[in-house]
Chain A
Amino acid sequence: MTATGRYMGARVRRNEDARLLTGRALFVDDVHLDGMLHVAFLRSDYAHALLRSVDVAAARRRPGVVAAYTAADLGDYWRPGPLLVPPPPIRGLVFHARTQVPLARDRVRHVGEPIAMVVAESRYVAEDALEDIVVDAEPLPVVVDLEAALAPGAPLVHDDLGSNVAAHAVQRKGDYARARAAAHVVIARRFRYDRGAAAAIENRGIVAQWDPRAEELTLWDTTQAPIPIRNGLARLLGLLESQVRVIAPFVGGGFGPKIMMFYPEEVLLPWAALRLGRPLKWIEDRRENFSATTQERGQIHDAEIAVARDGRILGVRDVFLHDTGAYDPYGLTVPINSQCTLLGPYDVPNYASEFTAVFTNKTIVTPVRGAGRQHGVFVIERLLDFAAKQLGIDRAEIRRRNLLRPDQFPHNHEIIFQDSAPLVYDSGDYAPALERARELIGYDGFVQSEQARLRAAGRHVGLGLVCYVEGTGIGPYEGARVTVEPSGQVRVATGVGTQGQGHFTAFAQIVADVLDVEVDQVHVVTGDTREFHWGTGTFASRGAVVAGSACHAAAVRVREKVLELASGLLGAPPDRLELAGGRVRVRGSSDSAIPLGELALRANPLRGAVRPGTEPGLEATAYFGPDRGSTASGVHAMLVEVDPETAQVEIQRYVVVHDCGRVINPMIVEGQIQGGVAHGIGNAFYEQLVYDEAGQLLNASLMDYLLPTATDVPAVEMAHHETPSPLNPVGVKGVGEAGAIPTGAAFAQAVEDALSDHGVEITEIPLSPNRLFELIEAARSARAR
Chain B
Amino acid sequence: MKPAPFAYHRPATLDEALALLAEHGGEAKPLAGGQSLIPAMNFRLARPAVLVDLNRVAELGYVRAGRDGLQIGAMTRQRAVERSDAVRSAAPLLAEAMPFIAHPQIRNRGTVGGSLAHADPAAELPAVMLALEARFRARGPQGERWIPAGEFFTGILETALGPDELLLEVVVPKSPARTGYAFAELARRRGDYALVGVAARVTLDRRGRCQAARITLFSVGDGPVLAAAAAAMLDGQEPSPEAMRAAADAAAQRDIDPPSDIHASAAYRRRLAAVLTRRALARAVERAAQASQ
A residues 615-667 near B (Cβ < 8 Å) are 645-648
Min CB distance A199 to B, Å, is 14
- 24 interchain pairs, CB-CB under 8 A: A124-B5, A127-B2, A127-B44, A285-B1, A286-B1, A287-B1, A287-B43, A645-B271, A646-B186, A647-B268, A686-B188, A704-B262, A704-B263, A709-B189, A709-B191, A711-B189, A712-B190, A768-B263, A769-B188, A769-B264, A770-B263, A773-B265, A773-B268, A777-B267
Q: Is B246 an interface residue (CB 8 A)?
A: no
Point out the residues of chain B lying under 8 angstroms from A124, CB to CB: 2-3, 5
Across the interface, A128 reaches (CB within 8 A) one of B5, B188, B190, B265, namely B5
Q: Which 7 A-B pairs have the closest CB atoms?
A: A285-B1, A711-B190, A124-B2, A773-B268, A690-B262, A770-B268, A770-B264
Across the interface, B271 reaches (CB within 8 A) one of A128, A698, A773, namely A773
Q: Is A192 an interface residue (CB 8 A)?
A: no
B residues 60-79 near A (Cβ < 8 Å) are none
Would you call A712 and B263 a contact (CB within 8 A)? no
Across the interface, B4 reaches (CB within 8 A) one of A128, A645, A770, namely A128
Point out the residues of chain A lying under 8 angstroms from B195, CB to CB: 769
Point out the residues of chain A lying under 8 angstroms from B271, CB to CB: 645-646, 773
A residues adjacent to B (C-beta < 8 A): 123-124, 127-128, 285-287, 645-648, 686, 690, 698-699, 701, 703-704, 706, 708-709, 711-712, 768-770, 773-774, 777
Kindly report which residue of chain B lies nearest to residue A777, judged by CB atoms: B267
Point out the residues of chain A lying under 8 angstroms from B186, CB to CB: 646, 648
B residues 250-282 near A (Cβ < 8 Å) are 262-265, 267-268, 271-272, 275
Point out the residues of chain B lying under 8 angstroms from A770, CB to CB: 263-265, 268
Would you call B188 and A706 a contact (CB within 8 A)? yes
In the bound complex, CA of A704 to CA of B261 (Å): 11
Kindly report which residue of chain B lies nearest to residue A123, judged by CB atoms: B2
Known A-B contacts A646-B186, A711-B189, A773-B268; the reply to A698 vs B262 at CB < 8 A is: yes
Point out the residues of chain A lying under 8 angstroms from B44, CB to CB: 127
In the bound complex, CA of A770 to CA of B262 (Å): 9
Point out the residues of chain B lying under 8 angstroms from A128, CB to CB: 4-5
Point out the residues of chain B lying under 8 angstroms from A774, CB to CB: 265, 268
Min CB distance B121 to A, Å, is 15
Point out the residues of chain A lying under 8 angstroms from B272, CB to CB: 646
Sample of 16 more A-B contacts, CB < 8 Å, known A646-B275, A686-B189: A124-B2, A127-B2, A128-B4, A287-B1, A287-B43, A647-B268, A699-B262, A708-B189, A709-B190, A709-B191, A711-B190, A712-B190, A768-B263, A770-B263, A774-B265, A777-B267
In the bound complex, CA of A769 to CA of B269 (Å): 11
Point out the residues of chain B lying under 8 angstroms from A285, CB to CB: 1
Kindly report which residue of chain A lies nearest to residue B278, judged by CB atoms: A645
Min CB distance A407 to B, Å, is 47
B residues 30-85 near A (Cβ < 8 Å) are 43-44
Point out the residues of chain A lying under 8 angstroms from B191, CB to CB: 709
Point out the residues of chain A lying under 8 angstroms from B192, CB to CB: 703, 706
Chain A contact residues: helix, strand, loop or mixed: loop
Min CB distance B276 to A, Å, is 8
Chain B residues with a Cβ closer than 8 Å to the other chain, count: 24
Which of B188, B191, B192, B265 has the most CB atoms of chain A within a 10 A radius of its CB? Answer: B188
Point out the residues of chain B lying under 8 angstroms from A686, CB to CB: 188-189
Would you call A645 and B262 a contact (CB within 8 A)? no
B residues 167-209 near A (Cβ < 8 Å) are 186, 188-193, 195
In the bound complex, CA of A768 to CA of B268 (Å): 11
In the bound complex, CA of A648 to CA of B189 (Å): 11
Kindly report which residue of chain B lies nearest to residue A698, judged by CB atoms: B262
Point out the residues of chain A lying under 8 angstroms from B1, CB to CB: 127, 285-287
Point out the residues of chain B lying under 8 angstroms from A647, CB to CB: 268
Which of B44, B268, B271 has the most CB atoms of chain A within a 10 A radius of its CB? Answer: B268
Kindly report which residue of chain A lies nearest to residue B189, judged by CB atoms: A709
Point out the residues of chain B lying under 8 angstroms from A704, CB to CB: 262-263
Point out the residues of chain B lying under 8 angstroms from A773, CB to CB: 265, 267-268, 271
In the bound complex, CA of A285 to CA of B3 (Å): 13
Point out the residues of chain B lying under 8 angstroms from A123, CB to CB: 2
Point out the residues of chain B lying under 8 angstroms from A769, CB to CB: 188, 195, 264, 268
Point out the residues of chain A lying under 8 angstroms from B43, CB to CB: 287, 701
Point out the residues of chain A lying under 8 angstroms from B275, CB to CB: 645-646
Min CB distance B55 to A, Å, is 22
In the bound complex, CA of A686 to CA of B189 (Å): 9
Min CB distance B67 to A, Å, is 41
Min CB distance B48 to A, Å, is 15
Min CB distance B78 to A, Å, is 18
Kindly report which residue of chain A lies nearest to residue B265, judged by CB atoms: A770
Kindly report which residue of chain A lies nearest to residue B272, judged by CB atoms: A646
Min CB distance B133 to A, Å, is 29
Min CB distance A283 to B, Å, is 10
Min CB distance A714 to B, Å, is 14
In the bound complex, CA of A699 to CA of B188 (Å): 14
Across the interface, B189 reaches (CB within 8 A) one of A645, A646, A698, A712, namely A712
Kindly report which residue of chain A lies nearest to residue B47, judged by CB atoms: A131
In the bound complex, CA of A699 to CA of B263 (Å): 10
In the bound complex, CA of A773 to CA of B263 (Å): 12
Which of A646, A698, A706 has the most CB atoms of chain B within a 10 A radius of its CB? Answer: A646
In the bound complex, CA of A128 to CA of B1 (Å): 11
In the bound complex, CA of A698 to CA of B261 (Å): 10
Min CB distance B39 to A, Å, is 8
In the bound complex, CA of A770 to CA of B275 (Å): 15
Point out the residues of chain A lying under 8 angstroms from B193, CB to CB: 703
Which of B3, B43, B189, B267 has the most CB atoms of chain A within a 10 A radius of its CB? Answer: B189
B residues 103-135 near A (Cβ < 8 Å) are none
Kindly report which residue of chain B lies nearest to residue A701, judged by CB atoms: B43
In the bound complex, CA of A241 to CA of B59 (Å): 65
In the bound complex, CA of A774 to CA of B266 (Å): 11
Point out the residues of chain A lying under 8 angstroms from B3, CB to CB: 124
In the bound complex, CA of A769 to CA of B44 (Å): 31
Point out the residues of chain A lying under 8 angstroms from B5, CB to CB: 124, 128
In the bound complex, CA of A773 to CA of B271 (Å): 9
In the bound complex, CA of A703 to CA of B262 (Å): 12
Min CB distance A108 to B, Å, is 21
Min CB distance B6 to A, Å, is 12
Point out the residues of chain B lying under 8 angstroms from A706, CB to CB: 188-189, 192
Which of B1, B44, B193, B265 has the most CB atoms of chain A within a 10 A radius of its CB? Answer: B1
Point out the residues of chain A lying under 8 angstroms from B268, CB to CB: 647, 769-770, 773-774
Which of A286, A701, A708, A709 has the most CB atoms of chain B within a 10 A radius of its CB? Answer: A709
Point out the residues of chain A lying under 8 angstroms from B263, CB to CB: 704, 768, 770
In the bound complex, CA of A124 to CA of B3 (Å): 7
In the bound complex, CA of A703 to CA of B42 (Å): 14
In the bound complex, CA of A777 to CA of B267 (Å): 10
In the bound complex, CA of A124 to CA of B265 (Å): 38
Min CB distance A130 to B, Å, is 10
Min CB distance A437 to B, Å, is 28
Point out the residues of chain A lying under 8 angstroms from B2, CB to CB: 123-124, 127
Kindly report which residue of chain B lies nearest to residue A647, judged by CB atoms: B268
Min CB distance B3 to A, Å, is 8
Interface mask (B80-108 → A, CB under 8 Å = 1, otherwise 0)? 00000000000000000000000000000
In the bound complex, CA of A697 to CA of B180 (Å): 44
Point out the residues of chain A lying under 8 angstroms from B189, CB to CB: 686, 706, 708-709, 711-712
Min CB distance A660 to B, Å, is 30
In the bound complex, CA of A181 to CA of B38 (Å): 65
In the bound complex, CA of A691 to CA of B249 (Å): 33
In the bound complex, CA of A701 to CA of B193 (Å): 14
Point out the residues of chain B lying under 8 angstroms from A708, CB to CB: 189
Point out the residues of chain A lying under 8 angstroms from B267, CB to CB: 773, 777
Point out the residues of chain B lying under 8 angstroms from A711, CB to CB: 189-190
Kindly report which residue of chain A lies nearest to residue B1, judged by CB atoms: A285
In the bound complex, CA of A711 to CA of B195 (Å): 17
In the bound complex, CA of A701 to CA of B275 (Å): 29
Point out the residues of chain A lying under 8 angstroms from B262, CB to CB: 690, 698-699, 704
Min CB distance A775 to B, Å, is 11
